[in-house]
Structure 1
Amino acid sequence: MHAMQYELTLPADYDTGIIRARVARIGHLLDDWDGLGLKAYLVRERGVHGSPVSQYAPFYLWNTVEGMNRFLWGGAFQGLVDDFGRPAVRQWTGLAFEEGAVADSPAAFAVRRRQPVPDGAELAALMREAVAETERLAAEDGAVLAAAAVDPHRWELVHFSLWEHDAPKADGDLFQVLHLSAPGRARFPRGRQW
């Protein structure tokens, strides 16, 4: 499993209806993308649910590097680049994935929490804690799924979870899910990824 995200921080007065219309128009295009586990089309608005910024920030969990590369280099990503410029694309290596307590419910909200891996940390223990946190999040009421991944270049952990309501039992940045493409979600191995 590979996690990926890019963020488009929008001007404070930007009409997020433009993003909502874009996702309504093109979101279905990845509903059967080979190699994609899931893509959550995420948006947050300044002043709503405590967000300091307005952003369009899709989050991906990939089953294969080939599917991710075909998306980035095969032309699909170019449309976003043409419309908004080329954003930095963050990537993390998968640590854990769990289906949630209400896995069959539609996801309305997502929480993403990034945290640095402290210098001097015992890596195996820290990664076990990340797996345990994924399990804890997935077991919470309202959880659709939870995942954890790590960027060993920046030494950063990311926890990502989807929720059926706007009161998730997770800390981090809260996003609204506009659409969820999940062609390969059922193929994710559960639990620890090593």
Structure 2
Amino acid sequence: MHAIQYEVTLPADYDMTVIRDRVARLGHLLDSWDGLGFKAYLMRERGVDGSPVNQYAPFYLWNTVEGMNSFLWGGPFQGLVNDFGRPVVQHWTGLAYEDGGAAGSPAEVAVRRRQPVPEGVELTEAMEEAVRETKRLASLDGVVGAAAAVDARHWEIVHFSLWSGSSPKASGEVFQVLHLSEPERGSLPRGRQW
């Protein structure tokens, strides 16, 4: 399992209906993409849920490298690059995924929390703690799904959760979910990934 996310930060006065309309028009194109567990089309608006910025920031969990690569190099990503420039694509290796009790319900919000893996900590314990946190998040009321992944280049763990209600019970950056493509979410491996 691989997680990726890119962030397109927009001017403070940007009309975010442009992003909403874009997702409404194009979001369905990944609803049957091979190798894609899910893509959460995420947006933050300046001043909403504590966001300091206007931002389009989709988050993906991939079942296969081939699916991810065909998305990035095979065309659809180029459309975003053509419209907004080429963003940095953050990449994490999957540690864990769990369905929540609200799996199957529409996801309304997502929460992303990044945490550094400090120098000197036992890596096995840090990764096991990320797995435990994924299980804890998935057990909370309203959770559609929860994941953890690690970037071993920058030693950062990302915790990501999708929520069926608009009041998530997790700390982190809150995003609006504009659309959820989930062609292979049922095939994402559950639990610890090693």
Could you say which TM-score interval applies, normalised by the shorter chain? over 0.9
1:99-147 Cα distance to aligned partner (Å, 9 max, x none): 0011121100000111111000100001110000000000000101000
Match status 1:23 vs 2:23: yes
Aligned with 1:189: secondary structure?
A: coil
TM-aligned CA deviation for residue 165 of structure 1: 1.2
Partner of 2:103: 103
Aligned with 1:33: secondary structure?
A: coil
Distance (whole Å) between structure 2 residues aligned to residue 117 and residue 126 of structure 1? 7
Aligned with 1:128: secondary structure?
A: helix
Q: Residue type of the partner of 1:145? A: G
Match status 1:159 vs 2:172: no
Q: Residue type of the partner of 2:49? A: H
Partner of 2:184: 184
Distance (whole Å) between structure 2 residues aligned to residue 27 and residue 102 of structure 1? 22
Distance (whole Å) between structure 2 residues aligned to residue 139 and residue 184 of structure 1? 22
Q: Which runs of 4+ in 1 moved over 2 A?
A: none
1:58-101 Cα distance to aligned partner (Å, 9 max, x none): 00000000000000001111000000000000000000000001
Aligned pairs (5 A) from 1:26-45:
26-45=26-45
Aligned pairs (5 A) from 1:37-76:
37-76=37-76
Distance (whole Å) between structure 1 residues aligned to residue 54 and residue 166 of structure 2? 17
Q: Residue type of the partner of 1:191? A: G
Distance (whole Å) between structure 2 residues aligned to residue 115 and residue 100 of structure 1? 22
Give percent identity, aligned residues only: 73
Aligned with 2:33: secondary structure?
A: coil
Aligned pairs (5 A) from 1:1-12:
1-12=1-12
- Could you list the runs of 5+ residues in structure 1 that have no partner in the other structure? none
Match status 1:139 vs 2:144: no
- Could you list the runs of 5+ residues in structure 2 that have no partner in the other structure? none
Distance (whole Å) between structure 1 residues aligned to residue 169 and residue 24 of structure 2? 28
* RMSD, aligned CA: 0.5
